[in-house]
Structure 1
Amino acid sequence: MQQDIKQLIREKIKMQGVKMEIRPITLKQASDFINQYHRHHKATIGCKFAVGLYKGDTIIGCAVCGRPVSRYLDNGFTCEINRLCTDGTKNACSMLYGACCRIAKEMGYRKIITYILQSEDGASLKASNFICEGAAGGTHWTGARDRGQEIPQELKTRWVRILRK
């Protein structure tokens, strides 16, 4: 047991000087990470693209982007960050938000959106130049396709960043 703790401390010290790096990943890799680390959601079903954030050879975060869940916002020029998940590494969320914006812009999207729980402060979104549009969505899924996921019964806020006019 004490040997394991010493090994973890050695690995943590070794990783302090290693820079974070964005890399492409598969939806399967992102889903595995999300199912292990996300606080309140399971992985998504599909995506347009997924990116991973690595420190050395260790994945420390990922983001999954796709079509907007709301059919009213699905105009072909709007991308949604459907899931973003990290292991808690400082600045990891901001790096992933920035990468998603750059990739979506290069793909021709004009706007990118994401949702967070009302209880979350959105510090990483503010740091990534997103603007809060206020409360959006309901507290639970009301459609016929309810998949029975344990989703927090809490309102969300929608955040947006304009990528091009």
Structure 2
Amino acid sequence: MKIQKLTIENRAKVYALLQCAFPRSNYEAELVRKLHANGRPLHEWVCLHSNKVIAYIAFSNAYHGRDICGLHLAPMAVTPEFQKQGVGTELLRFALRQEAIKGQPLFVLGEPNYYRKFGFEPCSQPICPFDINNAHFLSMGNIVATSFVVGYEPEFVPVIAPAAPHGKKHRHGKHS
């Protein structure tokens, strides 16, 4: 298994991975495709096994108004045949050690029990526009004390999620 920055050559493999990892949704694959097409700044890594992309993680800018106030972790995905084998854990731990990521305030909309293992904590400020009461919004290195709605790149748009099986999450970096 090898972790490396995403290359242009591997983008199509990432879109296919996202479609496979989130089979009931085109949202994640289309989101990343649009972020790439629109030239949004992203920090992205893939995990390769036998030259196949088996996991992906991305961080995009978080905004307070027009100012960057940190990074959003979203999406993160592992191909189904490699889930529950520690691949996502290894990829996230790798990403959190990278210069572009460490020391930055980080935000994730995801499963609290999963992301707490990495140091993310429940976050009451800023307010996540995609999560009622910030119930699944977590942060790391966040020192925000004022109330504001955190901004995302415009490609992140609210969607109505299809009914998911118990325990499965399907939006903005939620672990599946």
TM range (shorter): 0.5 to 0.7
Structure 2 equivalent of residue 127 of structure 1: 117
Per the TM alignment, residue 63 of structure 1 is displaced from its structure 2 partner at its CA by 0.8
Unmatched 5+ stretches in structure 1: 1-19, 141-154
TM-score, normalised to structure 2, is 0.55
Amino acid at match of 1:82: A
Please tell me whether residue 21 in structure 1 is matched to residue 10 in structure 2: no
Is the contact between residue 35 and residue 42 of structure 1 (CA under 8 Å) also seen in structure 2? Answer: yes
Please tell me whether residue 31 in structure 1 is matched to residue 21 in structure 2: no
Q: How far, CA to CA, are the matches of 2:70 and 2:138 in structure 1? A: 12
Is the contact between residue 80 and residue 113 of structure 1 (CA under 8 Å) also seen in structure 2? Answer: yes
Number of equivalences:
124
TM-score, normalised to structure 1, is 0.59
Unmatched 5+ stretches in structure 2: 36-40, 144-176
Per the TM alignment, residue 107 of structure 1 is displaced from its structure 2 partner at its CA by 5.9
> Identity over the aligned pairs, expressed in percent?
7
Q: How far, CA to CA, are the matches of 1:100 and 1:133 in structure 2? A: 21
Q: How far, CA to CA, are the matches of 2:16 and 2:91 in structure 1? A: 17
Please tell me whether residue 162 in structure 1 is matched to residue 156 in structure 2: no
RCO comparison, higher one (Cα < 8 Å, 6+): 2
Select 1:51's aligned residue among 14, 26, 45.
45
> Which stretches of structure 1, 4 residues or longer, exceed 4 Å deviation after superposition?
none
Structure 1 or 2, whichever has the larger Rg, is: 1
1:12-161 mapped onto 2 (5 Å cutoff): 20-26=1-7, 28=11, 29-38=13-22, 40=25, 41-43=27-29, 44=31, 45-46=34-35, 47-68=41-62, 71-72=63-64, 75-87=67-79, 88-103=83-98, 105-106=99-100, 110-116=104-110, 120-123=111-114, 125-133=115-123, 136-138=128-130, 157-161=136-140
